[in-house]
Amino acid sequence: MTLDLPVAPPAPHSPAPHRPAAAHRPPHPADHLTPEHLEAAQRHLVTKAIAELAHERLLAPAVDRAAVTSPADLRRAYVLTLETADGVAVVYRFRARRLALEHWAIDRTTLTREVDGRPAPLDVLDLVLELQPLLRVPDDLLALYLEELSSTLASAAYRRAHGGPTSAELLHADLATVEQAMTEGHPSFIANNGRIGYGVGEHDAYAPEAGRPVRLVWLAARRAVSHVATGAGLTEDALYRHELDESTRERFADHLRCLGLDPADYRYLPVHPWQWEHRVAVTFAPDVARRDLVLLGESDDTYRAQQSIRTFLNVDRPDRHYVKTAVAIQNMGFLRGLSPAYMRATPAINDWVADLVDGDPELVACGVRVLRERASIGYTGDVYHRTPRPSAHRKMLAALWREQPYAFLAPGQRATTMAALLHRDAAGDAFATAAVRASGLDPADWLRAYLRVYLRPLVHCLRAHDLAFMPHGENVLLVWQDHVPVGALLKDIGEEVAVVSDRPLPAAVERIRAVVDDDEKALAIFTDVLDGVLRHLAAILVTDGVLTEERFWGVVADTIDAHHADHPDLPSGVDLRAPRFAHSCLNRLQLRNTLQMVDLADQSSSLIYAGTLANPVARDGGA
């Protein structure tokens, strides 16, 4: 469907207007920026914006009585009427299903827009300006938010232009292929692919959807002004021997000797190529010039960027670790740096969490494991670490190495990002629906298997250990066998895990403590799992006719009850079957401060609530 304004045709019998032939030129990384690709991206993003802002109660679509032709239309036809700051009336009409957790499943093909009574194209940037009296994005940050939306549109147009596997094909694809094919990013955030700082060529080189091979840049960092932390049983030397071939290590050492430097005085730091070009060689030019940092060259191995954009999978040597780098681009409410100070404790935190998970029979039975961040490195010799106040400049030179998933897979098993469960391909076909049908299981049994490896272990960690994760789609890998989830691998532990009580902790792990009351503890499941993941999965399976809404949430409730029945003596006061829970809003966070959504040192006090939501797994069915 096109929503462009009509253009008057030429007069009868008049010659067709002359158009000069397009000049030939080679392909360009910006060739995806065309009207047809933009229209598709706009339709998707405007639909998502209306749905999520209505979910967060910033918008209140009404029944479109002008479109009602049958009783069923009272539940399906909606209108959203706005008035711009200069008094122009803007009207959006669409059909949708309203589901549990105040989710709006909008049929994007039905969405139309009128401006001052005339048809107008869909435009998410216009929508934000139309909504600015409601959204109240700070004036000094509004342009940045619009820029992040523009970048998100460009990324969507790029994916559309370059195509990708169908959902049915992804059922058999390897991890790297699935990562490249994902189209949605975070399911709740509207501006979720900002990447402010990447040029169009750099997007084509480094974005996960591009799937390009990347060679990391390696620096030598002077030991006196840097640090390495390693996990249990791992030394710095063993790390380098695992990650770098002997010939590469010899090449690095020879380069240092040629400069008159002693290799024993340095350690090795992997850096994102963009970070070297735009930050290290410029922002840290004095450090390079005095040879506290020394450019060694590119990696011999090639890597692929993952959904988290600054994490890389080694495609030449899959036995080697993921590498997570700092990259100072603005994306989804944060500058994507890594703090050397935080990195010091990361391996110890990961070891503690992994030991807890591996030592708990319930978690082992659920098939959940931790991909440990085994080592970290940080450089602190720059002037920015001596300024009176901390800044983002202190997060530009650090990296970590994380375990890769292949060692955890049995024969016949494969791993994919859990984000795949919320993926629809270019034809609108859902990966989750394809997996359910390919499994041959009853849909409720398939869902039960998934929740056993995802929801049940998270409930157990919270109730038995006061341990909360940030388990969205990019932070979880699912282990599959015959198209059924049989395990889960949790990652991004160092920065996104919390102990929410005053339980005893080793001194090295104390940083992750965040004591809250039982109601807020429960939000680790309510907000991050039910609202952040299962709400979207339910919409896919319900609208695809795989499961009824009642059956979906019934299986979720059964999973929670089964855990309680198996562990009746746990002292936790967390009630996951309560009638309602606080409605924590993610887009409101980003709209309030597009530069930094939350204070990472005190995330609890940063949250924004919009009343409460009816719990779809409440004992009485919600209220």
* DSSP per-residue letters across 555-600: HHHHHHHHHHHH-TT------TT-SEEEEE-HHHHHHH-SS-SS-T
Residues 6+ apart with CB under 8 A from 443: 436, 541, 546, 547, 551
DSSP-derived 3-state class of residue 496: coil
Which residues, at least 6 apart from 85, have a Cβ–Cβ distance to it below 8 Å? 132, 133
Percent of the chain with pLDDT over 90: 84
Reported as a pLDDT band with limits 50, 70 and 90, residue 183 is confident
Q: Quote the DSSP letter at residue 277.
A: I
CA distance 156 to 2: 18
Distances (CA, A) of 316 to 98, 302, 304, 446: 47, 6, 10, 34
The whole-number pLDDT of residue 7 equals 34
Report the distance separating Cα 535 and Cα 132, nearest Å: 27
- 21 pLDDT band (50/70/90 cuts)? low
Strands (E), 184-333: 217-222, 226-230, 266-271, 293-298, 303-305, 311-314, 322-325, 330-331
For residue 331, name the pLDDT band (cuts at 50, 70, 90). Answer: confident
Could you tell me the CA-to-CA distances from 292 to 366, 375, 605 in Å, in that order? 47, 21, 39
The helix or strand, by DSSP H or E, that contains position 237, with its residue range, turns out to be helix 236-243
Terminus-to-terminus CA distance in the chain, angstroms?
A: 39
**pLDDT tops 90 at residue 242:** yes
- At residue 566, does pLDDT exceed 90? yes
Q: What is the pLDDT of residue 228?
A: 98
Place of tokens 């709400």: 535
**Unique residue bearing structure tokens 């499941």:** 525
Query: What value does the mean pLDDT take over residues 476-503?
Result: 96
- Say how far apart CA 44 and CA 50 lie, in whole Å: 10
- For residue 456, pLDDT over 90 is answered with yes
Q: What would the mean pLDDT of 393-407 be, rounded to a whole number?
A: 96
Q: How does pLDDT run across 422-454, given as a tens digit for each residue?
A: 999 999 999 999 999 999 999 999 999 999 999
The residue assigned the tokens 């080694």 is 314
Average pLDDT of the chain is 92
Mean pLDDT of the region 45-50: 98
Burial class (CB in 10 A: 0-12, 13-18, 19+), 5: exposed
- pLDDT of 621 above 60: no
Question: Average of pLDDT values for 502-530?
Answer: 96
What does the pLDDT read at residue 16? 47
**In whole angstroms, what is the distance from residue 312 CA to residue 397 CA?**
16
Structure pTM? Answer: 0.93
Q: What would the pLDDT profile of 347-382 be if each residue is shown by its tens digit?
A: 999 999 999 999 999 999 999 999 999 999 999 999
- What element of type H or E holds 158? helix 139-162
pLDDT at 405 over 70: yes
**Confidence (pLDDT) at 81:** 96
Which residues have C-beta within 8 Å of that of residue 36, sequence separation ≥ 6? none
Per-residue pLDDT at 155 exceeds 80:
yes
Output the CA angle 452-453-459, nearest 5 degrees. Answer: 70
